[in-house]
Amino acid sequence: MKHYTLKNIPPDLYTRAEAEARRNFRSLNQEFLARVSHSFDQDDARQALLHARWVKEGFASGPSRPLAGADIDRAVARGIRRAKIRGTKVPA
């Protein structure tokens, strides 16, 4: 298992984490690991919901049909426009 040391924890955060660790019958290290793990689990759940929404929207959009080259070009152009609006770097 890898080791990592937290440094410069603000006193109020440290005190709060220490109290929560006692309340949850954990060491301070276990409390921090549980909190970090929980935040990653929440990110995964949000991503799964987003993917499920996309699938649902795809099914609701009607029957599938083969894409023509022009359809693909329009989709790529739309994605590039959206990426530029968000400020995402677009590969050349």
Q: Which domain holds residue 70?
A: 11-86
What is the number of domains present in the chain? 1
Task: Kindly state whether residue 3 falls inside one of the protein's structural domains.
Answer: no
Asked whether residue 4 is domain-assigned, the answer is no
Q: Is residue 6 part of a domain?
A: no
- Could you tell me if residue 63 is inside a domain? yes
pLDDT tier, 90 (very low <50, low <70, confident <90, very high otherwise): low
* Residue 23: inside a domain: yes
Residue 5 in any domain: the answer is: no
Any domain includes 39? yes
Taking alpha carbons only, the member of 35, 6, 4 closest to residue 19 is 35
Residue 35 maps to a domain: yes
Compute how many other C-beta atoms are within 10 angstroms of the C-beta atom of residue 20. 15
| Model confidence pLDDT, tens digit, residues 12-63 | 999 999 999 999 999 999 999 999 999 999 999 999 999 999 999 988 988 8
